[in-house]
Structure 1
Amino acid sequence: MTKVLVIENEAENRNIFLECLEAEGFDVISAENGLVGVEKAQEHAPDLILCDIVMPELDGYGVLTSLRQNRA
């Protein structure tokens, strides 16, 4: 099953993404900010990451930079 990580700080938007993706049969993981998203990406190794750009803690560009530093 394809694993998708959704990183979105707005709970309502995050829930919409989760519902839509789960309805299509994806295994979905969610994170409420960039820091948690990076941790979950490293822990679960998703096939796809959908990430908001404007977030507190760590923005989408910071998530990308962090993940690129750790190629695993």
Structure 2
Amino acid sequence: MVISAADTGSGTLREALLDGQPGDIITFDPVVFPPENPATIGLLSCLPAISRGYLTIDAGNAGVILDGSQIGDEFCPGLMTN
């Protein structure tokens, strides 16, 4: 579970992606990411590639905004959202 809106460190989306195993579902703490007042994760670099099978990122019960505007000109392949 993602419990921090920081880009790096313990409890972040980045850490969850690095630690995730095939078939895992990454969720977001709705206290930190309330649906009625979404929290923004400001990405400073590309998120890590998911290379060990599929992961599900489920923000269905939370308000999450991924902001990649600080990444700059770096190309971040492979991010697909729906």
Output the TM-score relative to the length of structure 2. Answer: 0.28
Q: Larger % of helix: which?
A: 1
| Larger RCO: 1 or 2 (CA < 8 Å, sep 6+) | 1
Output the TM-score relative to the length of structure 1. Answer: 0.29
Between structure 1 and structure 2, the one with the greater Rg is 2
